[in-house]
Amino acid sequence: MNDIIPIFSRRLLKVKANYLTKIDDVTTIRKYQAIRSYEAISAPRTIDQTQYDLYHLTMYARKLCRGRDQCSSDVVPVNMRVLGLLFFGLNVVLAAQPTCVLLNDGNKMPMLALGTGRGTAKETDTLDDVRNAVFWAIEAGYRHIDTAAVYGDEEQVGQGIADAIAKGIVTRDQLFITTKLWNDKHARDQVVPALKESLKRLGLEYVDLYLIHFPIATKEDGSPDNIDYLDTWKGMEEAKKLGLATSIGVSNFNIAQIDRLLANSNVPPAVNEFEVNPTLTQEPLVQHCMSHNIAVMAYSPFGFLVSRSRPDAPPPRYDDPTLGAIAAKYNKTPGQIVLRFAIERGLTPIPKSTNQKRIAENINIFDFELTADEIATIANFNKNVRVIEIDSWKDYPNYPF
C-alpha cells in the first residue's frame, strides 16, 4: 500500500467506501485520486485500509465509463458535502479518450487541449500549419482547442474546425473552443466587441471558454494602462450573459488576484490558465484554485523538455534517465509521461504541436496512470523556473509573476 494522502484530508476520507459509491460514485472516486496525486507532491502519509479500499474503487470506475463526444464519462454533479470544499470536484475517469472536468458553472471541459500559440516556432510553423494541426487534432480525438486573439491564428483555427465538421468527424457541440481577450481590450465596453471579432475570425457563433489573457492592461502601443481587471471582468460577465461565451475565466492570475476577483464578481471564474510543468509545479496556486472550484489549464506543460531558446535551462530534458525509466515502464515517451503527470494532478494540459504524429502521440495518455511515487519523483524536478518570462512588464500594474 504505497498510496498516500494529505494529513488534513484524512478525516475527509473516513466515510466508508461502499457509502461513497452510493452517493457520488465516479465523482468521489476521482476526487480521492486528485488528493492522492496532491499528496505525492507534498507531505506523504501511508493510507489506512478504508482509504486503500477507496483507491480500488478508482479501478472499478474505469469499467463504468468510456469515451464519447467531448468526454469519456457521464459527468455527475459534484457532491461537495462528501469531501468538503478543500478540493474541487474532478469528474474524470481513466479511459482511452480525454476525460472531462465539470466546471463550476455546470459546463464540461475536456481535460486535454491542443495549444495553437506558435511562440518561438513562428519562423518554422506557418498559419497553414495551424489549420492542419487543428484538423489533425480533432481527427485524432481532441475535442478542446485553445487559441487567443494575440496569437494571430484564430482564422486558421476556425478553418481547421470547419474542415473537421465538413468531413463529418465532429459537430460543433462536440467541441470545446477556448480563446482569450488581449491586454489592450480591457475596458469594460471593449470586451464584447473584442469577443465578437474573435468569433468572426473563428467562424463561430460562440466560444465555450473566454479568458482574460493577463490581469495586465495595456494601451494599443503596449504601454501600461490603468484599467482594473475587475472592470474587465464585468465585460466578461456580459459576454457570458449574451451567450457569446458559455464559460468565462482568467489566465495568468496569481492567488491574490483570484481572491480579489472572487470577492468582487457576480460570476466566479470557471478556469485559471497558467504555466505548469515539472520545472514549475505551482502547487500553491493549483491547490488554491481547486479549493475555490476553479479548474486549472496548464500551458507550457512540457517545460524545458525540448528547449529551443534556453539550452542551459534546468532539467528534465527529453533524454532524462528518470523520465526515461518511467516512460519505458509504460511503453510511452517522456513527453507522454509529463502530460500524464499534469492529468494526475487534475490539470488540463495544453500541448502545442504542428506535427501530425506528435499530435496523435500527445493524446495517447488516458490508458495508464502513474503511481504516487512516480508523481512525487517528477514533482521533484520543480525549480520554480518559468518558460514564459515577460520582463518588460515587471513594472506594469497587476504584473502577476
Q: Report domain extents, the chain.
A: 7-102, 108-393
Task: Spell 59-97 as b/e; 16+ CB within 10 A means b.
Answer: eebbeebebeebbbbebeebebebbeebbbbbbbbbbeb
Mention every residue, 6+ apart, whose C-beta is less than 8 A from residue 79.
23, 24, 27, 28, 89
**Cα 91 to the center of its chain, rounded Å:** 14
Task: Spell 164-185 as b/e; 16+ CB within 10 A means b.
Answer: bbeeeebeeebbbbbbbbbbbb
Among the listed residues 175, 27, 158, 202, the one whose alpha carbon sits nearest the alpha carbon of residue 110: 175
Q: Which three cell numbers stand for residue 19?
A: 457509502
H/E element, 28: helix 25-41
For 49, 60, 164, 305, the CA distances from 13, given in Å and listed in that order, are 11, 18, 44, 36
Whether the CB-CB separation of 235 and 214 falls below 8 Å is answered with no
pLDDT of 122: 55
pLDDT of 315: 83
Whether the CB-CB separation of 211 and 295 falls below 8 Å is answered with no
pLDDT of 274: 98
Residues 182, 80: Cα–Cα separation, whole Å: 34
Residues linked to residue 361 through DSSP beta bridges, in sequence order = none
Whether the CB-CB separation of 359 and 370 falls below 8 Å is answered with no
Residues 26, 36: Cα–Cα separation, whole Å: 15
- Compute the CA torsion angle 341, 43, 34, 146 (nearest 10 deg): -40
Residues 235, 211: Cα–Cα separation, whole Å: 11
Sheet holding 207-212, edge to edge: 114-115, 144-146, 176-181, 207-212, 245-251, 271-275, 295-299, 348-349
Would residue 330 show up in a list of annotated catalytic residues for this protein? no
**Considering the domain 108-393 in this protein, what is its CATH number?**
3.20.20.100
Pairing assessment for the beta strands 144-146 and 176-181 based on DSSP bridges: parallel
H/E element, 208: strand 207-212
Residues 219, 190: Cα–Cα separation, whole Å: 12
Whether the CB-CB separation of 101 and 128 falls below 8 Å is answered with no
Q: Exactly one of 32, 151, 210, 229 is catalytic; which is it?
A: 151
pLDDT of 63: 34
Half-sphere exposure at residue 200, Cβ-oriented, CA atoms within 13 angstroms = 6
Q: 3-class DSSP state for residue 178?
A: strand
Residues 172, 181: Cα–Cα separation, whole Å: 22
Give mean pLDDT in consecutive 10-residue pieces for the chain, a chain of 401 residues.
31 32 39 44 37 39 40 41 34 56 98 86 74 98 98 98 98 98 98 99 99 98 96 99 99 98 98 98 98 98 81 83 97 98 98 97 97 97 92 93 94
Q: Name the residue with cell 503596449.
A: 222
H/E element, 337: helix 334-344
Residues 271, 249: Cα–Cα separation, whole Å: 5
Cis amide linkage into residue 77, ω under 30° from 0: no
What is the pTM for the complete model shown? 0.79
